Chains A and B, each alone.
Chain A
């Protein structure tokens, strides 16, 4: 079957099978920035934005994306680069395999926190929002230092 949607604002028609996970369809179509690690929706590495909301693309059927807007990290290049510079300054990306999913979720978090009118960076709230983005290399501390500095530079 054919899935019609937009990926990074570009209309696309992707081939998929009934029951196929969105992550697999996206990777097969060349969106290699969507990483796969657990297949059970636990690790957050395959996160994409579906109509602006972060979702684990390994755990939703591709067909659910019909007519909707998919954003991968490549669709938020500028934002990812800005936040990425803070992560890189801490050395916190380490192997980098979890970074695309983490950065996308963090950007969605920033938008939500701003909409809620958050002033100072609330680290506990951020840890909670990002709890579903696992990382085995960094111990998370560097991520959080980077996010705090990024938030303070942009929202301080």
Chain B
């Protein structure tokens, strides 16, 4: 491997940094035309109801109201809002508007007016008569409940996913490797635990926004804060019943996504208004709407039965999962599968593994894609369980992991059996420095297995806890990215990609990869992304795919561009291409004779070379034959106040193997940001639903994302690692940071107070209750929730 890089593996500033910092108009709502109609939505006040009638007459009489659309005015085509490959693994169980509303915040009517105040006034004047239905709010009671969330007949899956809406099941799955029962009965120690995770909110700082207009050709142009313009175009065309060719989707800068903008939440509404009124239409959700009416993380219950021997050999795990997808089944099966497929391969030496369960409908707002995508839920359960077993067999939790975890050169049967919504692919791990991540992490945190907790003053206990994690790098043989390079007069290149920079800096690292491969400076690569009319296809930013999938596409494109340049020079000088060399600036012929340079070539090929004139460009695509996982070890140092139950995170150490860091600063920030979201899920982000299904934590006053005062020191390091299949040795880094905090902090809390907390988040009330209930006599852990068994 050649590691003498000039542009990659360098911490360049993001190419858009200064413009964004100065607040230049760059985001969707900054760019919406001033004369666009303002679109607002009338939303359901009931968790489950049938619309008996809608009277729009008074609202339509308000001056400045352009149109009001209800379920009778819009196409009745079942579709999914989930931005995924085609055919989507999510059921088509949703209509743009329906005569049923299935959660508080579900859309009832679309109102477009000259200004916001008029739109709001019109909304207040729409008279809706509802038949209020009994909602289904307890996901543990969803299967075969008398309340059926989706009784309608038109909805369907795109391929078998275990879809049984009559039983409130959006998807189900089961797999077995080896003889689970036999291995359980042969194990020295068998433990069974249940874990629960909450419906975390994404809270991307920019609320969802879009605007639509009809262009001079009558095509519908949508500008949207979307993570996946091409999926948006396809899903939108399908939901509206119009040809894909009549749509163009443009993504400007995006104010954060984290999976929350991987869906079509707002686009259909502005599209319908633009089509109905032939005018531009804009929408920007309020924060309350983002909380109540977009998506959350899938709430899960994860039951694990595990068997191990006293010598530290982990024999078997049987995992049963119940996932709450809310009112609609976006990402139902795939998130559910990732909870197993991106956790269980960590311990690849088990003789038997079982994984299965169901994803159920309830009358809560829908769950969807969210950074970690099931892996954080699965990791919390798995890595809490690993500590439980280690304590049971009196082994240091690190030693127990090291004896059982995956190593470089190894594989896991799970890779082949479990993909995302279908089978996976076989994969031998070519880069895995988990061992070094753990060794360095324990050094940084000062891990001492004889002293995992200690009292610093009366009633104040400090403790360490840890967890390891893996993620993926795109979805193998499903995700595809493309890039186009074109030489411009002056000797620089346009780089057009369909990849979508959510703020991560992916445009910058793609430019770095192109510059490195071409041998030019990063300033000579100008990135344009992403616009379905002008960018080559890319599935978009999700599943930790951009660096690996789109990055590999850019690398292939740039290497092809080198060839195109050399061939053009060879043709011009009547040489064989193999006789021409290019060093990024100049072209040399036989015996090192200087032929021309890139700047001259760029003018010659566009203006001077008469019959030889042409555009020099290259396009290439990449799809991964595998998805090499990044790995990390996370270590928490906490302080628990035994009198109040408050847990302070003093330090968090993360040592990450993401292969080569294309831009070390941006990789580090990805990890730091991911960690804080994971820490938020572990300690702060409590989700409360009222007993009629109302989301009570529906504002930033009530839903606490971590502030900069809420955490102590965060230390991130990268293990030296090189992934042979990645661009310049890179794997992904977007999600891996979020996975470990819930388990590492839960393990630290256990070490501090001797109680296993099975449910996130660990807010002071929960911890205090656990301390009170803890019988200080025996040190056996106990769950806070009563144990009832999930069906196999």
Question: Real complex partners, A and B?
Answer: yes
Contacts A77-B22, A139-B673 given; does A97 touch B206 at CB 8 Å? yes
Given A39-B287, A81-B22; A141-B205 close (CB under 8 Å): no
Stretch of B8-16, B61-69, B94-102, B275-283 on the interface side: B8-16
Check A93 against B21 for contact (C-beta < 8 Å): yes
User: Of residues 116 to 156 in A, which have CB atoms within 8 Å of B's CB atoms?
Assistant: 127-128, 130-144
* A42: contacting residue among B669, B677, B701, CB under 8 A: B701
The answer to whether B23 touches A72 (Cβ under 8 A) is yes
CB distance from B704 to the nearest CB of A (A): 9
Q: How far is the CB of A131 from chain B (nearest CB, A)?
A: 5
Q: Which of A84-136 contact B (CB under 8 A)?
A: 84-85, 87-100, 103, 127-128, 130-136
Kindly state whether residue B431 has any CB partner on chain A within 8 Å: no
A45 at the interface (CB under 8 A from B): yes
CB distance from A73 to the nearest CB of B (A): 5
Tell me if B145 counts as interface (CB < 8 A to partner A): no
Residue of B nearest to A102 (CB): B21
Q: Confirm or deny: B644 has a beta carbon within 8 angstroms of a beta carbon on chain A.
A: no
Contact (Cβ within 8 A) B204 A142:
no
A2 within 8 A of partner (CB)? no
Q: Is the beta-carbon distance between B286 and A39 smaller than 8 angstroms?
A: yes
- A39 contacts across to B, CB distance below 8 A: 286-288, 699
Residues of chain B contacted by A84 (CB below 8 angstroms): 17-18, 21-22
Complex contact A141–B672 (CB within 8 A): yes
A111 and B714 alpha carbons, distance in the complex (Å): 28
A113 to B205, CA, bound (A): 28
Main secondary structure of the interface of A (DSSP, over half): loop
Name the A residues within 8 Å of B24 (CB-CB).
33
Contact present for B11 and A91 (CB under 8 Å): yes
Inter-chain contact B25/A32, CB cutoff 8 Å: yes
**Chain A residues, Cβ within 8 Å of B356:** none
> What is the CB-to-nearest-CB distance from A36 to chain B, in angstroms, rounded to a whole number?
8
| Cβ-defined contact, A93 with B672, below 8 A | no
CB neighbours of A77 from chain B (8 A): 22
Contact B206–A95 (Cβ < 8 Å): yes
Our pick among A34, A96, A142 for the contact of B669 (Cβ within 8 Å) is A142
Cα distance A122–B663 in the bound complex, in angstroms: 29
Query: What residues of A have a CB within 8 angstroms of the CB of B502 in the complex?
Result: 95
Tell whether A80 is near chain B: CB-to-CB under 8 Å: yes
Q: Are B23 and A131 in contact (CB under 8 A)?
A: no
Chain A residue with the shortest CB-CB distance to B501:
A95
Kindly state whether residue B629 has any CB partner on chain A within 8 Å: no
A91 touches B13 (CB 8 A): yes
Is B672 in contact with A96, judged by CB distance below 8 angstroms? Answer: no
Could you tell me the distance in whole angstroms from the C-beta of A37 to the nearest C-beta in chain B? 5
Check: B103 CB closer than 8 A to any chain A CB.
no
A17 within 8 A of B: yes
B503 near A97 with CB under 8 A, answer yes
**A39, A88, A89: most-surrounded residue (chain B CB, <10 A):** A88
* Contact present for B665 and A35 (CB under 8 Å): no
Which B-chain residue is minimally distant from A17 (CB atoms)?
A: B117
Q: How far is the CA of A79 from the CA of B672 in the complex (A)?
A: 27
Flag whether B295 is at the interface (Cβ < 8 A).
no
A4 sits at the interface (CB 8 A): no
Q: Is the CB of B23 within 8 A of A100?
A: yes
Q: A136-B205, A137-B205, A139-B675 are in contact. List 10 more A-B contacts (CB 8 A).
A: A32-B25, A34-B23, A85-B18, A89-B665, A96-B17, A96-B19, A96-B255, A97-B503, A139-B674, A140-B708
Residues of A within 8 A of B (CB): 17, 32-40, 42-43, 45, 72-74, 77, 80-81, 84-85, 87-100, 103, 127-128, 130-144
Residues of chain B touching chain A, judged by Cβ–Cβ distance below 8 Å, are: 11, 13-14, 16-27, 30, 117, 202-207, 253-256, 258, 284, 286-288, 502-505, 663, 665-666, 668-669, 672-677, 699-701, 705, 707-709, 711, 714, 716
